Structure 1
Amino acid sequence: MPQQGRSRASYERMLAAAEKLMVKRGNDDFTLTEVAKAGKVSIGSIYLRFDSKDDLIRAVHGRVLGRIGEEQDNMMQAIGDKATSLDDFARLFVEAYAELLKSYSPVLRPIMFRAIYDETISSLGRTSAEKLTQEAEAQMMRYASEFGRPDHARLVGNAFRMIYYTLARFLGLGSSPEAANQGNWEELKEDLAIMCAAFLRATGK
């Protein structure tokens, strides 16, 4: 393998090893020595790539967000192709988004905890979240004729937040990990989709 290829492979092993340690422990309380051992790389090679453990963790975060972003794009494309009504959209979006968050929740938990005090990670996370928020709200707007009230921007914004915060709380993402897994996951998804559509249709009278 050419030198450039070996260097790239070594870099990917560093990131993969750090991510696995975060998932295994539920936090970022590991050493670079442990990363080196798990990734079969030298400590020296890690310091050639990263100035500190913080830089390594931020790179892991960027790598995770890249994967999530690609899956979110595919998810929204598929939902847009299939949904023909507000009920369709709510059901398809809640199901797909819930399962996406669930699949990444083991690595998102420690990353989101770190975002509380790491502005770099917090900023990257906000950018990623804002992109999905805009895409989801734009798709909801396709069914604005079914909305019960005229302030459509407010409605879709609150509908998205209702979905996200409900799922995040169940999965222990954010500041209340002790609230994770309270209730039935399948029932939660079904009820959340119904609530979302009902909220958007409500007249408020």
Structure 2
Amino acid sequence: MTKPLNAPPPAVPKQKRSLESQEAILLATERLLTREGGNDFTLLDLSRESGMSVGGIYRRFVDKQGLMLVMQQRLNERMLQDYTEFAREASQSAANLKQLVPVLIAGMTELLRRHAAVLRKIVEESMHHPEMAQNGIQIYHAHLALFKRDLLRYRAEIAHDDPEYAIEFCFNAVYELVASHLAFGRGSTVTEQDWPRLLANLQRLCLNFLAYPL
């Protein structure tokens, strides 16, 4: 089981209005992060975007880094929920490894693409904050554990002599190539032109690596 993330919890709102205010801050942060240069927003920018006073923001989050840690946790929870939902559907519809692999790869890559705008900014921010970087490692391994769990249902069908290593290899390859395509950790973005080809190649790579012996 993975360790809990290290994000310091925000002050727990006790009333509906306070809950709504906190949600407004988080949604405003997400909007700011998806804009060009979003990482450079100030608390004054956030105040204007959310309609909350700077003092109101400080009452809920110690500083910008604390806010970004909460955003990282929030995004992780959303992505884990999304993965769980599509993986359940994929597992119910697939009858064997060869049917499951392409569907899981498609779902995993689409999940990264869907959240790319915010995820890109969080990756960039984590390069300067060790705590966020450590959380990112924990998140990565949490997703790997789920991916491995789903594919190991068909352990006997995996042609590699070390099924767990083979699954980790595929997960790492998919994540690294998608991260490169979506420009995680870089300032520029890339076009969507080659996305279908990338997806097809990743599905082919993982299916051949897992299901067919050399």
Alignment of 1:58 with 2:61, yes or no, is no
| Of 95-104 and 127-136, the range deviating more from structure 2 | 127-136
Amino acid at match of 1:201: A
Cα offset, 1:118, TM superposition: 1.2
Partners of 1:36 and 1:110 in 2: CA distance:
19
The verdict on how the C-alpha distance between 1:182 and 1:122 changes in structure 2, with shifts beyond 3 A counting, is same
Matched residue, 2:133: 122
Matched residue, 1:98: 109
Superposed CA offset, 1:160-184 (max 9, x none): 111211222111123x565844852
Matched residue, 1:28: 39
Cα offset, 1:26, TM superposition: 4.5
SS of aligned partner of 1:120: helix
Partners of 2:140 and 2:160 in 1: CA distance:
26
Match of 2:149 among 112, 134, 138: 138
Amino acid at match of 2:62: D
| Of 114-123 and 88-97, the range deviating more from structure 2 | 114-123
Matched residue, 2:163: 152
Give unmatched runs, 5+ long, in structure 1: none
Cα offset, 1:159, TM superposition: 1.4
The verdict on how the C-alpha distance between 1:179 and 1:54 changes in structure 2, with shifts beyond 3 A counting, is closer
The verdict on how the C-alpha distance between 1:82 and 1:30 changes in structure 2, with shifts beyond 3 A counting, is same
Matched residue, 1:193: 203
Q: Give the TM-score of the pair, scaled to structure 1.
A: 0.89
Matched residue, 1:9: 20
The verdict on how the C-alpha distance between 1:156 and 1:177 changes in structure 2, with shifts beyond 3 A counting, is farther
The verdict on how the C-alpha distance between 1:177 and 1:200 changes in structure 2, with shifts beyond 3 A counting, is farther
Q: Give the TM-score of the pair, scaled to structure 2.
A: 0.85
Give unmatched runs, 5+ long, in structure 2: 1-13
SS of aligned partner of 1:24: coil
Superposed CA offset, 1:89-132 (max 9, x none): 12101111111111100000110011122122222222222122
Partners of 1:179 and 1:64 in 2: CA distance:
20
The verdict on how the C-alpha distance between 1:162 and 1:29 changes in structure 2, with shifts beyond 3 A counting, is same
* Higher helix proportion: 1
Identity of aligned residues (%): 24
Partners of 1:196 and 1:109 in 2: CA distance:
25
Amino acid at match of 1:166: L
Amino acid at match of 2:154: Y
Superposed CA offset, 1:29-55 (max 9, x none): 011011011101111101111221111
- Is the 1:98–1:189 Cα contact (8 Å) retained in structure 2? yes
- Is the 1:169–1:180 Cα contact (8 Å) retained in structure 2? no
Partners of 1:121 and 1:87 in 2: CA distance:
36
The verdict on how the C-alpha distance between 1:149 and 1:69 changes in structure 2, with shifts beyond 3 A counting, is closer
Tell me the matched-pair count: 201
Amino acid at match of 1:113: E
Instruction: With a CA cutoff of 8 Å and minimum separation of 6, indicate the structure with the bigger relative contact order.
Output: 2
| Of 100-109 and 132-141, the range deviating more from structure 2 | 132-141
